[in-house]
Amino acid sequence: MQTNIQRRLVEIEALANDTRPEVIEALSSIDSANISGNVRNSLEEKELATLNNFIKSFSNLSNAIGTIFKTIDTLDKSCDSMLEKLSIGDKGVDEVLDMTTSLHTQQEKQMHQLNKIHNFIDEFYLPKSDLEILNAGDINDTFFDAFTRLETVQERTTATLRTNQSTCLLDVSASLNKTKESAYQRMYHWLHMNSHLFDSLHPCVGSSYEKCLASIKVKPFHYGFVIDEIAKVRGDVVGRTFLRALTTGDKENKPIEASSGVDPLQFVGDMFAWIHQCTATEAAFLSNLLKEEQTSKNVKNALATVFDALIRPLEPRVQQAIKNLARPADFYQVANICAFFSQTFGDICGMTSSLYRCTETLKLSATEGFKKSISESVEDIRADGKPTQGAITEAIHAVAEITSLHKQSSLSASFDIGTLIDSYANGLKSAIEDCKDSVSFQTNALYELLLVCRDANLMSKTTIGEEVDNLLARIVIDDSNEIFVRCRIHETIAMCDMKTDQPMSTIRGLEPDILRHAINRYESSVLESKKIITPRCDSLSNPDLRQRAHKEVIEQLVTAYKKMYNVVMNPHNGYESPGTMFKHTPELFGELLM
């Protein structure tokens, strides 16, 4: 039905819209009865048409909505799919974000570790340029700058290892040690190759050599070899210079050997003086080179090696000079010179040095020569029979010279010079006693010998002193008796010493008048003369001994005066007015003589 209605509506619509005249005329002829029905039909048709249009439009809308629903369903499915995929994507994003965060964290850690590695390398590793310089570069200031940096890094590594015993630090330390040992080897070979720098009297040493020598000092083995090499080169220089000083001299000094035949003592002294000056020069040079004190072991060992070169020319020359000596004092002086320089060289070069041992040997040779000479000296004085005064005087002077030398001697206390000179002094005493024709000479010689013995504190001073006292007493008595004889009271004084019970005034020669004249004559002769004549006392050369002898003569004169005074003043002897016989008391008489 609906279909029919629709068909009719279509047809009506078609007619209504038809503009042909005939259609319009036909329609107008329709009766009015049908007009209402037609109008109603027309309205219904229009309403139906409108409804159909609505249905049609709604159908299109329904189709469109259906399409939309389908699209929505499709979109819903797509959304579900997208949601599903987005759900999966969220998980991936989270994983990516987590992974990114982890990678970032790892990157930061790696950057931190990388910075630590760079800092570690900067702190504990040498730059490549420094390694190349230390391993193959020239030995110069750049080398030592690199070596200084190496030592700084090594010290830092060692300090860190005290608190952090890591494997890496241990490896670094081993690497640095290896590099340093290699540098030390290079420095040692370089020093060895440049030892020729010292082959001149006044060598010029550069700063590189001094730095190299100072650096290798921490290697005692290598350092010792380098010092020994330097010392050997210096020894060659010193040996050549010593031979030149001995044989040719220079513009300022004559050859030392020029005095060998004329004055062996000066020859020996000049040789040792030259060596002593040279040891001082070399000691100062080596001390400055090694930057050590002159008393250090290294400097002493080096000096010992340097002066080994002097032993061969020195020893035979000094031995020959000792053989050419004649006087005991010369032997002693050479022994003393050798002893002094032996001690000096021992302090400078050490007690184990060849120079010290050589000087000790020469000292012993001179000492033995002195002993032999001193023992033969007295025998030589007596060799031609009676000893002469000149020979004895010379021998005494020799003893005095020897004892004077011994006061400043460097010979050790083990050298028993006292016994030797005692023996010599006793021999001289016997030789002096043989000169009996001159008491004055005997006294003078023995007293001079006594002074020497006292000065040297020799045991023979006692016996010699006793002999001097005896000879002096003899001189005093002889001079006193000579005065008594001149005053003609010698017999009178002798009688005053008589032991008798009878009064002295009754003895012939001691009668009051005779004794009075004798006393007056004695007083006048002794007191009124300007000088008491004592020829034997005046012949004594030593002022103290001469003064002592004069004093003892005066004592003898006073004693004689006192004897006569006591005899006269003794009432038993029967002298009348005894006080008138003397002008003075014995005490005043002695004061007047003094």
> Residue 502, exposed/middle/buried by CB under 10 A (0-12, 13-18, 19+)?
exposed
Given 85, 103, 124, which residue is the final one in a domain? 124
Per-residue pLDDT tens over the stretch 188-210: 888 888 888 888 888 888 888 88
Please say whether the beta carbons of 328 and 293 come within 8 A: no
Q: At residue 172, does pLDDT exceed 90? A: no
Q: Is residue 117 part of a domain?
A: yes
Q: Is residue 467 part of a domain?
A: no
Going by C-alpha positions, the residue among 301, 294, 297, 312 that lies closest to residue 236 is: 312
pLDDT band at 33 (very low <50, low <70, confident <90, very high): low
Residue 574 backbone class (left: φ over 0; alpha: ψ -120 to 50; beta: rest) = left
Residues 111 and 154 in one domain: no
Residues 66 and 112 in one domain: yes
Q: At residue 274, does pLDDT exceed 90? A: yes
Please state, as a whole number, how many other Cβ atoms lie within 10 Å of the Cβ of residue 374: 23
User: What is the per-residue pLDDT for 393?
Assistant: 80
CA 157 to chain CA centroid, nearest Å: 33
Given 163, 193, 223, which residue is the final one in a domain? 193
Q: Cβ contacts of residue 336 below 8 Å, gap of 6+?
A: 405, 408, 409, 410, 411
pLDDT band at 16 (very low <50, low <70, confident <90, very high): low
C-alpha triplet 391, 393, 399: angle, nearest 5°? 105
Q: Is residue 341 part of a domain?
A: no
DSSP 201: S
Given 88, 106, 124, which residue is the final one in a domain? 124
Residues 52 and 94 in one domain: yes
204 versus 166: the higher-pLDDT residue is: 204
Per-residue pLDDT tens over the stretch 348-395: 999 999 999 999 999 999 888 888 887 777 666 665 566 677 777 877
Share of the chain above pLDDT 90, in %: 15
Q: At residue 461, does pLDDT exceed 80? A: yes
Residues 101 and 189 in one domain: no
Computed on alpha carbons and rounded to an integer, the radius of gyration of the chain in Å comes to: 70
Q: Is residue 575 part of a domain?
A: yes
Residues 556 and 486 in one domain: yes
Q: How many domains is the chain partitioned into structurally?
A: 3
pLDDT band at 158 (very low <50, low <70, confident <90, very high): confident
Residues 78 and 138 in one domain: no
Residues 119 and 153 in one domain: no
Question: Measured between alpha carbons, how far is 452 from 392 in angstroms, rounded to an integer?
Answer: 14
144 versus 233: the higher-pLDDT residue is: 233
Residues 108 and 188 in one domain: no
Question: Measured between alpha carbons, how far is 62 from 52 in angstroms, rounded to an integer?
Answer: 14
pLDDT band at 29 (very low <50, low <70, confident <90, very high): low
Average pLDDT for 209-237: 88
Q: Is residue 323 part of a domain?
A: no
9 versus 69: the higher-pLDDT residue is: 69
Q: Is residue 336 part of a domain?
A: no
Residues 8 and 33 in one domain: yes
Q: Is residue 568 part of a domain?
A: yes
Per-residue pLDDT tens over the stretch 484-513: 888 888 888 888 888 888 888 888 888 888
Residues 150 and 112 in one domain: no
Q: Is residue 398 part of a domain?
A: no
pLDDT band at 241 (very low <50, low <70, confident <90, very high): very high
Domain coverage including residue 551 = 473-593
Question: Measured between alpha carbons, how far is 274 from 279 in angstroms, rounded to an integer?
Answer: 9
